[in-house]
Amino acid sequence: MIDICCVELDKLDMKMGVKKSQLVRIGRLHNKAVHGVLLSGRPTACVNELKYLGWYILSARSFKVSLHHTRVRFFQCFNSLYAKSHSFSEPVMQHLVNVHCKPYLLYGADVINWTRSELASISVAFKMYV
């Protein structure tokens, strides 16, 4: 299947980025290593976590995303705001956090089926700054 895609891309004078391509396994055999997957004659890296459109997709029994990077970005943004505006009133600070930091937690939230633990993790991160 991958070879068919490579052939079609060659016809369109396009190439796949072999160095940037990664493979993550999702399903009941997620912890088994994958060997022999070639992309344009080169082996593809098999990883436990990969970044796609801002989300970190994990190798697991079912589709899962990592919220660690999301929370880190939220706290980085909050700490940056707080360091520069510690003299602002509470309503102003809440508005700034809602406008600048909250989007880091909610990016793509409408397309992910959240589990209770993921929702709790996001909720705790948001409530910690208050």
10 Å Cβ neighbour count for 29?
10
Give CA separation, 40 vs 18, 47, 92, in Å: 7, 19, 54
The one-digit pLDDT tens for each residue of the chain (130 residues) are 777 887 888 889 888 877 888 888 899 988 887 877 888 778 888 888 999 888 899 999 988 888 899 999 999 999 999 888 878 888 888 899 899 999 998 888 888 888 898 888 888 888 877 6
SS3 content of the chain, % helix, strand, coil (to 5): 45, 15, 40
Q: Which three-class secondary structure state does DSSP give residue 50?
A: strand
* Global confidence as pTM: 0.74
- Comparing C-alpha atoms, which of 23, 20, 3 is closest to residue 11? 3
pLDDT of res. 130: 64
